[in-house]
Amino acid sequence: MKLSFRWYGKEDKVTLRNIRQIPGMSTIVTAVYDVPVGQVWSRESIADLKSVIEAEGMAFEVVESIPVHEDIKLGKKTRDHYIENYCENIRRVAEAGVKCVCYNFMPVFDWTRTELAHELPDGSTTLAYYQSRVDEVNPLQSDSDLTLPGWDASYTRAELRDVVAEYQFMSEEMLWDNLKYFLERIIPVAVECGVNMAIHEDDPCWSIFGLPRIITDEKNLDRFLKLFDVPNNGITLCTGSLGCSGRNDVVKMAEKYGKMGRIHFVHMRNVAVLPENRGFEETAHLSVCGTLDMYAIMKALFDSGFEGYIRPDHGRMIWGETGRPGYGLYDRALGATYLNGLWEAIEKTEKKKMEKNSSPS
């Protein structure tokens, strides 16, 4: 596995130097942030990212994300223009040495949480999702006082209402069709450029506000991979996005899709799933802190021969740190160290087992 870390560019309070000092860190995950969704990224901005990252001794090999314009998800006539721009962005990041591109196909909202600073008993704060709170919100009412903290700030409330309204008649099947149309055009370009596309699961992995969501479980991931059945059409296995629903067996999915060679990127984080579908709270990475068995997931990846990128996903805010929710330095760095520890232990144990089996008794 190649250990990586998400960095939000020069505006990020967490510096490349900070990241470099995390043991074993090899790759930066970032994107061009100064361009609206759907536009072509300038070669200068891409080259600039590459040079600052390499100057700190790390590689720029993963982009998260090249966002997908809503017109593509909505299947509007204008989609061809945005798809062409998307292909051009794949070509340009590939020219700079990027090997993997993460993206998602969630209508309107990317990850959704109802609290960005929920206090845990130890005084740290974390991201949380309470279903009852989501159920109170109706984004179709632009005058509603209820908003959620994670909402895309690039929309005004009225714009958000309008774009949500555009999806009112879209079924999941229509969204599948639009995804297929998109893949049929971008994956051949990715193949040509040697880039692995890695779709991120919907977070949380169920429909919210009546919007269709399809990258949600094993059945749908199987269907997704078949839409364009080549290795470059793969997934970002996000343990928290899938693991916040009891119906997903993340260990099994890591093993299955890993063996198929279709996991190109992994987001490792833990969640405490609340009973009776009440939602979830994000926790420290350690297995004992949440619902997921992080060791078993890493072991499944190892056993499948996984050689892609892994990053510690969201961290809590600890030690008085302030900053971008989920993306502070300290707890993610602890997560990285934990992942390194798990991997080393698994690797050495397996090596010993192999030596024992091959030595004459």
Active-site residue numbers?
A: 200, 238, 267, 313-314, 327
The residue type found at 236 is: T
Q: Taking phi first (over 0 means left), then psi (-120 to 50 degrees means alpha), and beta for anything else, what does residue 31 get?
A: beta
* H-helix segments, 5-156: 16-20, 43-55, 70-74, 79-95, 131-135
The nearer residue to ligand DNO, 255 or 313, going by C-beta atoms, is 313
Q: Does 326 bind ligand DNO (CB under 6 A)?
A: yes
The nearer residue to ligand DNO, 110 or 303, going by C-beta atoms, is 110
CA–CA separation, 342 and 21 (whole Å) = 19
CA–CA separation, 93 and 108 (whole Å) = 25
Largest Cα separation within the chain, whole Å, is: 76
* Distance in Å, CB of 65 to ligand DNO, minimum: 3
- Cβ-based neighbours of 124, under 8 Å, separated by 6 or more: 284, 316, 317, 318, 331
Judged by CB under 6 A, the chain residues 193 through 232 that form the site for ligand DNO are: 200
* Distance in Å, CB of 68 to ligand DNO, minimum: 8
The position carrying tokens 């996984």 is: 306
Q: Which of 64, 281, 282, 331 binds ligand DNO (CB under 6 A)?
A: 64
The nearer residue to ligand DNO, 92 or 314, going by C-beta atoms, is 314
Determine contact, residues 140/211, Cβ cutoff 8 Å: no
CA–CA separation, 339 and 143 (whole Å) = 45
Q: Among 93-101, 102-110, 135-143, 224-232, which window interacts with ligand DNO (CB under 6 A)?
A: 102-110
Q: Does 103 bind ligand DNO (CB under 6 A)?
A: yes
Extract the runs of DSSP E, i.e. beta strands, from 263-322.
263-268, 271-274, 279-282, 309-312
Q: Among 98-106, 173-181, 242-250, 281-289, which window interacts with ligand DNO (CB under 6 A)?
A: 98-106
**Chain residue whose CB lies nearest ligand DNO:** 65
CA–CA separation, 32 and 14 (whole Å) = 17
The position carrying tokens 């799933």 is: 273
Q: Among 96-104, 138-146, 159-167, 286-294, which window interacts with ligand DNO (CB under 6 A)?
A: 96-104
The nearer residue to ligand DNO, 285 or 314, going by C-beta atoms, is 314
Sign of CA dihedral 350, 355, 360, 361: negative
Size of the site for ligand DNO (CB under 6 A): 11
* Distance in Å, CB of 326 to ligand DNO, minimum: 6
Q: Which of 89, 104, 124, 270 binds ligand DNO (CB under 6 A)?
A: 104
The nearer residue to ligand DNO, 67 or 140, going by C-beta atoms, is 67
* Distance in Å, CB of 288 to ligand DNO, minimum: 23
Task: Give the residues across from 312 on adjacent strands.
Answer: 268
Q: Does 111 bind ligand DNO (CB under 6 A)?
A: yes
The nearer residue to ligand DNO, 32 or 102, going by C-beta atoms, is 102
* Distance in Å, CB of 237 to ligand DNO, minimum: 12
The residue ranges that bind ligand DNO (CB under 6 A) are 64-65, 102-104, 110-111, 200, 267, 314, 326
